[in-house]
């Protein structure tokens, strides 16, 4: 089991009660390049009850998928952005990892939730709930200032304002970069002293009028692509809404303006 642990935690940052960041470095001296939006499987040994009903505890390498929030080639290794799930099988163990801890990491990042095939003259509306913002952070870190899009908008929906991981980085980017718009939206913050910004769920932002007003873009499948990431119920609802407005899933032959990544 120890021999399967091929990476080291460089740093852990607790962002809120449930959101945390892990900086992890694979042992490989030259880890493979990846495309922003791709993910790796990460894991640690977890004690589980043997399936034969004997009551014996066994150690098993429990793995889950995590989007890479760092840009490809970052010398500080990979950044993972995680939610601590109540009663989750893996995340309570990952939450306990501190600098120096060993873990398993896939040697090859995977996934098609990338900007591949999208021409640079499109507007991107990147919609996330919770830690689903991670792939968009990687895309912005990798491509900002490189004319990879006309305008990039990140719509990030969370329960509490403290869960707005990357808020500082994205607010600063929006101040400096006229081609980037950051729209955080919070669903459960009651205290106006803590949050006076957009309140509710991400769907409220998917209106042509609101996009025009807040991000100065034409919200049509002809010129804009929408990416959806995170909570699967959000994805299903947003997809239905957007399909009724003419958006369709991208295929190798046609850009329909819609892509998604379900986290569960």
Ligand X SMILES: NC(=O)c1ccc[n+]([C@@H]2O[C@H](COP(=O)([O-])OP(=O)(O)OC[C@H]3O[C@@H](n4cnc5c(N)ncnc54)[C@H](OP(=O)(O)O)[C@@H]3O)[C@@H](O)[C@H]2O)c1
Ligand Y SMILES: Cc1cc2nc3c(=O)[nH]c(=O)nc-3n(C[C@H](O)[C@H](O)[C@H](O)COP(=O)(O)OP(=O)(O)OC[C@H]3O[C@@H](n4cnc5c(N)ncnc54)[C@H](O)[C@@H]3O)c2cc1C
Cβ atoms of 186 and 159 within 8 Å: the answer is yes
- What DSSP designation does 110 have? B
Backbone angles phi, psi at 199, to 5 degrees: -125, 140
Q: Which is nearer to ligand X, 32 or 200 (CB)?
A: 200
Question: Is 61 an interacting residue with respect to ligand Y (CB under 6 A)?
Answer: no
263 near ligand Y, rule: CB under 6 A: yes
- Name the one residue in this structure whose structure tokens are 């009850």: 49
If one asks whether residue 232 binds ligand Y (CB under 6 A), the answer comes out as no
Residue closest to 124 by CA, chosen among 34, 229, 19, 33: 229
* Chain position carrying tokens 């098993």: 60
Give the residue, chosen from 89, 96, 112, 194, that forms a contact with ligand Y under the rule CB under 6 A: 89
8 vs 91, which CB is nearer to ligand X?
91
- 99 token code pair: 């600098």
| φ, ψ at 3 (rounded to 5°) | -65, -20
Q: Which residue has its beta carbon closest to ligand X?
A: 130
Q: What is the largest CA-CA distance in the chain?
A: 63
What does 81 bind: ligand X, ligand Y, none (CB cut-off 5 to 8 Å by kind)? ligand Y
Between residues 139 and 158, which has the closer beta carbon with respect to ligand X? 158
Stretch near ligand Y under the rule CB under 6 A, chosen from 77-85, 152-160, 180-188, 195-203: 77-85
Residues lying near ligand Y in the complex (CB under 6 A) are found at 39, 64-67, 81-83, 85, 88-91, 111, 130-131, 134, 261, 263-264
């Amino acid at each position: 089991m120890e021999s399967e642990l091929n990476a080291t935690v460089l740093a852990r940052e607790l962002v809120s009660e449930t959101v945390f960041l892990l900086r992890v470095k694979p042992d490989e001296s030259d880890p493979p390049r990846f495309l922003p939006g791709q993910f790796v499987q990460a894991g640690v040994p977890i004690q589980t009850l043997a399936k034969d009903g004997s009551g014996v505890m066994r150690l098993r390498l429990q793995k889950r998928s995590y989007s890479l929030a760092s840009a490809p080639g970052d010398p500080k290794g990979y950044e993972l952005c995680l939610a601590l799930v109540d009663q989750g099988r893996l995340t309570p163990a990952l939450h306990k990892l501190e600098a120096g801890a060993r873990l398993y990491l896939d040697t090859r990042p995977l996934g098609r939730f990338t900007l591949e095939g999208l021409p640079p003259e499109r507007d991107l509306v990147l919609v996330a709930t919770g830690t689903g913002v991670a792939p968009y952070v990687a895309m912005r870190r990798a491509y900002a200032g490189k004319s990879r899009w006309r305008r990039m908008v990140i719509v990030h929906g969370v329960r509490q304002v403290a869960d707005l991981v990357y808020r500082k980085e994205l607010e600063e980017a929006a101040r400096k970069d006229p081609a980037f718009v950051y729209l955080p939206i919070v669903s459960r913050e009651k205290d106006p002293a803590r949050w006076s910004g957009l309140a509710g769920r991400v769907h409220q932002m998917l209106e042509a009028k609101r996009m025009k007003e807040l991000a100065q873009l034409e919200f049509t499948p002809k010129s804009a692509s929408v990416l959806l990431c995170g909570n699967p119920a959000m994805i299903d609802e947003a997809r239905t809404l957007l399909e009724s407005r003419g958006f369709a899933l991208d295929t190798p032959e046609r850009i329909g303006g819609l892509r998604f990544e379900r986290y569960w």
